[in-house]
Structure 1
Amino acid sequence: MKPRSVRLAPAADHAREKRETAAQRLAEQQERLRAAEHQLSELRRYRAEYALDGAAAVSVSALLNRQQFVERIDRAIGQQLLDVERQRRLLEQAGANWRAAHARERALESVIGQAREQERKSEERREQNDIDERMQHRNPRRRS
């Protein structure tokens, strides 16, 4: 029968792969959040610039068009705010998934380390028993 540490190795490999996948997803989610925040910043900057440029409208229809356009920008900002919040929640979830995968990997590494230590001690005991047995056969005790 294979030693316990060897039997647990595939589970440790699987845990490592899960942790690596979770880390990749976390990095991807961080990038998505960064992009959503950048988009929100750009929309806000554009709205501020457009509001400043709109002070010199010449006609009522131009003012109405400008007002409608600003309202569309405001709606886009509102939607982007929702997206940023959603991306933050997804980032929190991805972080929790990574932490759980990391903890599982470390736990398996610990169990394997303990198993290897037990296997090493068992092997040392076996070797010592073999030595003791050989010494007994080599130097039989003499009876008086």
Structure 2
Amino acid sequence: MNSRAQQLQPAVEQARQRSEDALAQLATQQQLLARAEHQLSELQRYRQEYAAGGDGAQSVAALLNRQQFVERIDRAILQQEAEVARQSRQLAQVRDHWRRAHARESALDSVVAQHREEERRAADRHEQAEVDERMQYRRQR
């Protein structure tokens, strides 16, 4: 006869697997966000260096080219900031999913532990009853 703890074991394993999968997704999403943030900081650093690197002896055409290039970098920075925000929102969603999966795993583990404790106490009571019965039998002899 299967105990309740044994009957719940497939659900526990499934919850554990879901929690591990969610944790792996969380790690991946953290890496994606870090990469996006790094790209943003690189763009910002490049823009700062490029904008500060002009000398006063440039032609009008060179100044216009420089200004247009800085504007393109600014647009790329705006796009990258939007990407960082998107990745950050995605990270929050993935983190929430992991928390829910982990909570379900913990709850199932707790239920199984309670059932095992109940089963252990029942086995102890049964064993004590057998010992008491043997002692009673010995006394009667």
Structure-2 residue corresponding to 1:104: 104
Structure-2 residue corresponding to 1:23: 23
Code of the residue aligned with 2:58 in structure 1: it is: V
Label 1:6 to 1:57 Cα distance change in 2 as closer, same or farther (>3 A): farther
Superposition RMSD in Å = 1.7
Structure-2 residue corresponding to 1:62: 62
Provide the C-alpha distance between the structure 2 equivalents of 1:61 and 1:25, rounded to a whole number of angstroms. Answer: 49
Q: How many residue pairs align between the two structures?
A: 141
Report the alpha carbon displacement of residue 52 of structure 1 after superposing the two structures with TM. Answer: 1.2
Provide the C-alpha distance between the structure 1 equivalents of 2:7 and 2:114, rounded to a whole number of angstroms. Answer: 13
CA shift digits 1:49-74 (9 cap, x unpaired): 11112344622222222221111111
Code of the residue aligned with 1:4 in structure 2: it is: R
Provide the C-alpha distance between the structure 2 equivalents of 1:130 and 1:9, rounded to a whole number of angstroms. Answer: 30
Give me the TM-score of the superposition, normalised by structure 1: 0.88
Code of the residue aligned with 2:119 in structure 1: it is: E
SS in 1 for 2:32: helix
Structure-2 residue corresponding to 1:13: 13
Provide the C-alpha distance between the structure 2 equivalents of 1:126 and 1:65, rounded to a whole number of angstroms. Answer: 90
Provide the C-alpha distance between the structure 1 equivalents of 2:55 and 2:74, rounded to a whole number of angstroms. Answer: 18
Report the alpha carbon displacement of residue 138 of structure 1 after superposing the two structures with TM. Answer: 4.6
1:105-120 aligned at under 5 Å gives the runs 105-120=105-120
- Unaligned 5+ segments in structure 2 are none
CA shift digits 1:3-44 (9 cap, x unpaired): 001111111111111111111111111111111010000001
Q: Which range moves more in the overlay, 12-21 or 59-68? A: 59-68
Code of the residue aligned with 2:52 in structure 1: it is: L
Provide the C-alpha distance between the structure 1 equivalents of 2:57 and 2:106, rounded to a whole number of angstroms. Answer: 65
Equivalent pair of 1:57/1:63 in contact (CA under 8 Å): no
Label 1:63 to 1:109 Cα distance change in 2 as closer, same or farther (>3 A): same
Report the alpha carbon displacement of residue 118 of structure 1 after superposing the two structures with TM. Answer: 0.8
Provide the C-alpha distance between the structure 1 equivalents of 2:106 and 2:49, rounded to a whole number of angstroms. Answer: 52
Structure-2 residue corresponding to 1:36: 36
Equivalent pair of 1:37/1:84 in contact (CA under 8 Å): yes
